[in-house]
């Protein structure tokens, strides 16, 4: 009690697009009494009996929900069993002092005496530790916990085989069983086939991918298809990877006709984000990642690019993870993450993937914003990012754009913005307007 569950729970439910269930609220609803009244009338044992019944009901729901368990609910063995069998448990971290400051002076029956409160806190800790799958202190860390994203040293990732970007492996002394080229050169049919033929993983094996977004894309795709799917862990080493590419379970390789045309949804069992990798990145790679940070900030309606680098990574990863958890198979609102990317992918394909992804996204954002009628915002993005026109062939770029995966019934469909934080999805755009917008991005 006093950890902040009643505040964090509804926020987390909203981020995940799930109902919120409070066991205390259910007890009060069913009994027609407040928790304090129940303690007074029936004693703690009588309250716990009611609490156990509603906790088992909440944890047994067919529809996934965010369930807030009361501070003493884990005293029940059936509740602990249901939690282990049915739920992913997040321990909301607090200290005895923080919790007491929140509940002292309230009508909570077990928060009348500070000494007794602190004794109870320590007594319950062992049960909390045993039940918790992950820990969180705020809604971002709770979203990341649910998504399997952890911040910490990359050495925490282990598996039966490791695929690494050659450059990253050399720079950081990573012992990899399989090496792939840096950048989009890794995302080819030939590289995927080479990995398939070289892997010696059992069905329950885990493949670890260490590198930028291209490395996690190809390794994740190989994991999704090898033996009809083995587990994998993503260890993104670039800013693009940490804020975007390694989050959400999309894996893919490229074809000459376009980017990411062959792929699968295969959520990693774990994503380990070690921001120390960013300290060795050249400025051009940080600029690449900054484009995805700006995109995420535009979608979130917050200038996330103004935060310290580590917080940029955490907030962007949490935003994308929440969107992907709400729409894991990209059948709805996940499309917003493609803001600027239809143009970006066309430019990349036209450059034979020599154009850096971040620079292509920066250009694509300006085009999408102008088509949205947000010229002032487009100019702001031009001040933030490298938006020099790309040296590619216009016809080749146009041909690639026409093959974009989001095209439907022959029509070009884009993500646009009404305003920061308010994306328009699946907007049909006149071909002439789209072509003019594309041509402004080309040198």
127 shares its domain with 162: no
78 shares its domain with 186: no
Number of domains in the chain: 3
Select from 93, 120, 146 the last residue of a domain. Answer: 146
369 shares its domain with 277: no
pLDDT of residue 155: 75
186 shares its domain with 140: no
- Residue 90 placed within a domain: yes
Select from 114, 146, 178 the last residue of a domain. Answer: 146
124 shares its domain with 186: no
pLDDT of residue 404: 79
Domain hosting residue 214, numbered range: 151-281
Three-state SS letters, the chain: CCCCHHHHHHHHHHHHCCCEEEHHHHHHHHHCCCHHHHHHHHHHHHHHHHHHHHHHHHHCCCCCCEEECCCCHHHCHHHHHHHHHHCCCEEECCCHHHHHHHHCCCCCCCCCCHHHHHHHHHHHHHHHHHHCCEEECCHHHHHHHHCCEEECCHHHCCCCEEEEEHHHHHHHCCCCCEEECCHHHHCCHHHHHHHHHHCCCCCCCEEEEEECHHHHHHHHHHHHHHHHCCEEEEEECCHHHHHHHCCCCEEEEEECCEEEEEEEECCCCEEEECHHHHHHCCHHHHHHHHHHHHHHHHHHCCCHHHCCHHHHHHHHHHHHHHHHHHCCCCCCHHHHHHCCHHHHHHHHHHCCCCCCHHHHHHHHHHHHHHHCCCHHHHHHHHHHCCCCCECCCHHHHHHHHHCCCCCECCEEEEEEEEECCEEEEEEEECHHHHHHHHHCCEC
Q: What is the CATH number of the domain that holds 98?
A: 3.40.50.300
pLDDT of residue 159: 86
pLDDT of residue 225: 98
Select from 79, 113, 146 the last residue of a domain. Answer: 146
- Residue 30 placed within a domain: yes
Q: What is the CATH number of the domain that holds 420?
A: 1.20.1090.10
141 shares its domain with 11: yes
118 shares its domain with 187: no
- Residue 59 placed within a domain: yes
39 shares its domain with 52: yes
pLDDT of residue 154: 84
pLDDT of residue 395: 96
List the pLDDT tens digit at each of the 443 positions of the chain: 899 999 999 999 999 999 999 999 999 999 999 999 999 999 999 999 999 999 999 999 999 999 999 989 999 999 999 999 999 999 999 999 999 999 988 888 888 899 999 999 999 999 999 999 999 999 999 999 999 999 988 877 888 899 999 999 999 999 999 999 998 999 999 999 999 999 999 999 999 999 999 999 999 999 999 999 999 999 999 999 999 999 999 999 999 888 899 999 999 999 999 999 999 999 989 999 999 999 999 999 999 999 999 999 999 999 999 999 999 999 999 999 999 999 999 999 999 999 999 999 999 999 999 999 999 999 999 999 999 999 999 999 999 998 876 777 778 999 999 999 999 999 999 999 999 999 999 99
339 shares its domain with 260: no
12 shares its domain with 120: yes
């Amino acid at each position: 009690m006093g950890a902040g569950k009643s505040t964090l729970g509804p926020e987390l439910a909203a981020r995940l697009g799930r109902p919120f269930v409070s066991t205390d609220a259910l007890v009060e609803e069913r009994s027609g009494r407040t928790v304090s009244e129940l303690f007074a009338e029936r004693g703690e044992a009588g309250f716990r009996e009611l609490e156990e019944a509603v906790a088992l009901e909440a944890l047994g729901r067919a529809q996934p929900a965010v369930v807030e368990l009361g501070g003493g609910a884990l005293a029940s063995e059936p509740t602990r069993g249901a939690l282990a069998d049915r739920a992913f448990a997040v321990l909301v971290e607090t200290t005895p002092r923080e919790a007491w400051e929140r509940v002292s002076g309230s009508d909570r029956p077990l928060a009348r005496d500070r000494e007794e409160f602190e004794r109870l806190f320590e007594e319950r800790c062992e049960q909390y530790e045993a039940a918790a799958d992950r820990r969180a202190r705020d809604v971002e860390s709770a979203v990341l916990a649910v998504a399997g994203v952890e911040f910490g040293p990359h050495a925490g990732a282990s598996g039966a085989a490791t695929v690494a970007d050659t450059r990253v492996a050399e720079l950081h002394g990573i012992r990899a069983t399989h090496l792939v080229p840096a950048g989009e050169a890794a995302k080819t049919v030939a590289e995927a086939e080479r990995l398939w033929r070289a892997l010696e993983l059992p069905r329950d094996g885990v493949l670890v991918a260490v590198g930028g977004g291209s490395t996690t894309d190809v390794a994740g795709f190989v994991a999704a298809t090898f033996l009809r799917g083995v587990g994998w862990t993503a260890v993104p080493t670039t800013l693009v990877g940490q804020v975007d590419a390694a989050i959400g379970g999309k894996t893919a390789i490229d074809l000459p006709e376009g980017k990411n045309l062959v792929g699968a949804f295969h959520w990693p069992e774990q994503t380990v984000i070690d921001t120390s990798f960013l300290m060795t990145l050249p400025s051009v790679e940080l600029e690449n990642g900054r484009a995805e940070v700006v995109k995420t900030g535009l979608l979130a309606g917050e200038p996330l690019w103004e935060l310290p680098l580590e917080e940029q990574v955490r907030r962007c990863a949490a935003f994308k993870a929440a969107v992907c958890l709400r729409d894991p198979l990209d059948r709805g609102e996940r499309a917003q993450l493609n803001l600027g990317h239809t143009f970006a992918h066309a430019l990349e394909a036209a450059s034979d993937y020599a154009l850096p992804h971040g620079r292509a996204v920066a250009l694509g954002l300006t085009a999408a914003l102008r088509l949205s009628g947000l010229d002032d915002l487009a100019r702001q993005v031009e001040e933030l990012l490298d938006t020099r026109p790309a040296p590619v062939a216009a016809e080749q770029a146009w041909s690639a754009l026409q093959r974009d995966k989001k095209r439907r019934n022959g029509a070009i469909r884009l993500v646009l913005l009404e305003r920061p934080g308010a994306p328009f999805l699946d907007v049909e755009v006149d071909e002439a307007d789209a072509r003019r917008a594309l041509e402004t991005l080309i040198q």
